[in-house]
Structure 1
Amino acid sequence: MSEIFVYGVSGETLSTACLRQLTACVAVVVSKRFAPLLPADSPRRIAIAPVDEMLSQVAESLKTGDVTVLASGDPLFFGIGRRLVDRFGTGGITFFPAVSAMQLACARFKLPWDDLPFLSLHGRSKDDLAGSILPHRKVMLFTDHRNSPDRIAAALLQTLRHYGDERRLATIRVQVAENLGTDGEKLTSGSLENIARTRFGPLNMMLVEQDLPPADQPVFGLREQEIAHSRGLITKDEVRAVILHSLRLPRRGVFWDVGGGSGSISLEAAGVAPGLSIYTIEKKQEGRDNIRKNIVRYNRWSIHLVSGEAPDVLAPLPDPDRIFIGGSGGRLPEIITDCTARLKAGGIMVASAVLASTAQLAPQLMRENRLAVRCTTLQVSRREDCGQTMRQLNPITLVIGRKILEDNDNG
């Protein structure tokens, strides 16, 4: 039975074992970067990209003999190894890893990496960069041509300036390692501003470090007095807990917080599900100022503040998996109709209603838009220090709609 032998390459030479294996195989998978390292009598070459086409050619070649694959560093660490195992399984494939680019970068930066998070930015949207990078005290980034170090630094710089986080701007340190293990190896250190003005080669690793306050903030359970808000306009603690439970937030995806107010729902959602991309829509300047303060204070950079009024500003946003409607400005019919149209199949929409008229209208609108609907009314009573005096808060009705999957009309 034919086998696949995957050799990691670090530097500008092939190992003796790899050269010996090349003489016994019928084809070799190689990138343009490593093609010059092959001997003149090497077997038939298969381009490593596009990957799907490469996998098909490898499958065909295995009918006549073994195949060798040349890959950068450790093929099973953000490399081609995953795709090979997914396609061919583990039975007929052997890996010979070399030192990875990450290991070389950490060695050059003299940085222990047993506690270092790694993040691949291949294909990641610019909008998600701050939310992916800024929560970490230190993080190593695998960049690509789209998310290069200068563009990453520029995006972080723009975000921090937009939210007025001057303290963090002053503490972030960046290091970039280019062309590791080659004669063109180069190390660059600097601030976000310096890195944003520098151009780098395509083969690089990027380290971002910063001084963060102690991580003693709760993942969930912020209190009203801990969240910047104005004139008591904030979703009360107990109600916020039920809203988040009703939303059944996924680990990843898109969440719209329509009529964000202080941003309390978004803040808690970002803590519970840091992989979510959260878009908080708020039309009032006072509310947006509070949301900015809260994002900076609680390091919740997965929240994107959208200025304006729904549904007018919803069109450019990515389709949501979850929606919370905390305020409508008298435009609830438009908002629910537009939100339902954009909500992904199986997605959940929750609307809070203080007024009895809203509590009657919201479920009607959701049903008209073919959502499966249920309602919950909350009456919260508080006794400070468990004393005798009971203080009742205004009742809140939560209208919860789920977009029924097309092949499941029974919900």
Structure 2
Amino acid sequence: MKTDDMSMIELIGVSGNVLDDGVRETIARCHAVVASGRHVPLVEDLCERIIPIAPVQTMLERLAGELALGPVTVLASGDPLFFGIGRTLLGRFGPDRLHIRPALSAMQLACARFKTPWDDMAFLSLHGREMDTLAGRVLVCLRHTAHGKVMLFTDQHNSPDRIAALLLQTLEEYGAMELARTIRVQVGENLGLKDERLVEGDLARIAGLTFAPLNMMLISRESEAVFGPVLGLNEEELVHSRGLITKNEVRAVTLHTLRLPPSGVFWDVGGGSGSVSIEAARMCPALAVFCVEAKGEQQENIRANIRGHQAWNVRLVSGLAPAILSGLPDPERIFVGGSRGRLKEIIDICARRLKPGGRLVVNAVLARTAEQAPKYMLRHGLSVQVTRIGVSRWQETGEEQECVEDRQCVVDRRQPRQTTINPITIICGTK
């Protein structure tokens, strides 16, 4: 076969287990074929050189070598540009080296089987991903999509039964089993194949079944979504104890100082009522928020606020910092609202674990904290900014009655009253 420095990659989607004549002719003209184990029987009579599609990095290296000898076909399931190998191949070889022929994706087949439009649903691929924050991500998608639908691309590890069990566990932990009863699950197995199976039920039913590795999982919410403000929850809207809550105005400045990314990891250390975590989660639905709190009463407040505001991307971490932080993923942002006398130790581990470009924000009520926090941050090479804010509120105190001479008349006069909030020092360290 003639060597061609610009040999093409024929990226072909497969739906079911049949190749049409045009695809078979293309494969027969190629020097080699990249295929998964279940696609090998479709091509073994057409090409002698068959490259396994996994592991992907090894496949890419072999593919580059085979392209020096001639064109190569890559077989992929469904639409290779929809959570498929297409993105990887485009990134490695560039668009000029690829011809792409998509087929119906498993997602499209599942929606057709369940007679469900898919232009208004969210999609999550779980292939090779950890389950740690999965339940929160799914529940957030159900809350934020207009019609409350999310399609999951599962794998052998993240199976429908395990996902359903995890959702039940999460909703039970936060006292939200009423929400569980409004969630419906549909699973399509081996779509387009002879042993195709469709299963429907609630979370409890799905959690008790087993499924073939090739499946799509559609989760939908039967209740209507209630959309509140993205930012601007009042203290009265958040469950808290004895006034122990980051005040509205201070919370707003704190969130501004954090400059939260749309996704990534955020630690809220000394979460208290969880007010900062809740607002951060509502602002950034794709952000994984870890709210660390040691006190049982405050933990109950956090659970109530997660449930009440459906901030499912907040995960309560029960324990005392800094020791409890070792089990969390490295963060892009950290807020320290309380240290319980361990400020130095907390800043030490936070500064080490913070990702480059990340921000560490400490709110200080006490003068000692305001003095020490910048010093500890500077020792770790952080760039430090300090802001001190004071807040005054004018509120109506009620009504005052006045009798007018010779007439039975009452005049309402609402009198404003000024209240002040203790000054807060906000220390921000940037890595």
| Cα distance in 2, alignment partners of residues 109 and 269 from structure 1 | 35
Aligned equivalents of 1:71 and 1:216: distance in 2?
39
State the one-letter code of the partner of 1:167. Answer: E
- Which residue pairs with 1:335 in the alignment? 346
* Structure 2 counterpart of 1:190: 201
CA distance in 2, matches of 1:41, 1:334: 64
Aligned partner of 1:224 in structure 2 is: 235
- CA RMSD, aligned part only? 1.6
2:110 corresponds to 1:99: no
1:233 pairs, out of 232, 240, 244, with 244
Q: For residues 198 and 262 of structure 1, what CA distance do their matches in structure 2 show?
A: 38
Residue 59, structure 1, aligned to residue 87, structure 2: no
Identify the match of residue 298 of structure 2 among 287, 294, 303.
287
Partners of 2:383 and 2:367 in 1: CA distance: 21
Correspondence for 2:265 among 250, 254, 257: 254
Q: Determine helix, strand or coil for the equivalent of 1:382.
A: strand
Once the two structures are TM-superposed, the CA of residue 108 in structure 1 deviates from its matched residue by 0.7
Q: State whether structure 2 residue 65 is matched by structure 1 residue 42.
A: no
Q: What is the deviation of 1:95?
A: 1.2
> Would you say 1:395 and 2:423 are equivalent positions?
yes
The change in CA–CA distance for 1:92 and 1:363 in structure 2 (over 3 A counts) is: closer
Does the Cα contact within 8 Å between 1:238 and 1:380 map onto a contact in 2?
Answer: yes
The one of 75, 80, 84 equivalent to 1:70 is: 75
For 1:296 and 1:86, locate their aligned partners in 2 and report how far apart those are by CA, in whole Å: 41
Aligned to 1:263: 274
> Do the aligned partners of residues 352 and 193 (structure 1) sit closer, same or farther apart at CA in structure 2, a change above 3 Å counting?
same
Alpha-carbon shift at residue 213 of structure 1 (Å): 4.2
Greater Rg by CA: 2
Residues 23, 43 of structure 1: 8 Å contact kept: no
Letter in 1 for 2:159: S
Instruction: Say whether residues 1:118 and 2:109 are aligned partners.
Output: no
Cα gap change, 1:354/1:44 in structure 2, threshold over 3 Å: closer, same or farther? same
Identify the match of residue 314 of structure 1 among 305, 325, 340.
Answer: 325
Count of residues in correspondence between the two structures: 403
Are 1:14 and 2:19 matched, yes or no? yes
Alpha-carbon separation, structure 2, partners of 1:93 and 1:106: 29
Aligned in 2, Cα 1:387/1:367: closer, same or farther, shift over 3 Å? farther
Cα shift at 1:43: 3.9
Q: What is the deviation of 1:153?
A: 0.9
Aligned to 1:381: 392
Q: TM-score, normalised by structure 1?
A: 0.94
Q: 2:177 maps to which residue?
A: 166
The within-5 A match list for 1:133-144 is: 133-135=138-140, 136=142, 137-144=148-155
After superposition, what is the alpha-carbon deviation per residue over 1:343-390, rounded to whole angstroms, capped at 9, x for unaligned?
A: 222221111111222211222222233322221111101112696532
Q: Which residue of 1 aligns with 2:381?
A: 370
Q: Which stretch has the larger CA shift, 55-64 or 235-244? A: 55-64
Change (3 A) 1:250 1:387: farther
Contact between 1:233 and 1:262, CA under 8 Å: does it hold in 2? yes
In structure 2, runs of 5+ residues without a counterpart are 1-5, 143-147, 397-413
Q: Could you say which residue in structure 1 is the equivalent of 2:402? A: none
Counterpart of 1:243 in structure 2 is: 254
Structure 1 residue 294, shift from structure 2 partner = 0.8
Q: 1:53 to 1:312 in 2, by over 3 A?
A: closer
Distance in 1 between residues matched to 2:280 and 2:46, nearest whole Å: 59
One-letter amino acid of the counterpart of residue 235, structure 1: T
Q: By how many angstroms is 1:41 displaced?
A: 4.1
1:27 to 32, 37, 53: 32
Q: Deviations over 1:118-146 (max 9, x none)?
A: 11112222121112101212100000122
Q: Shift of residue 39 of structure 1? A: 5.2
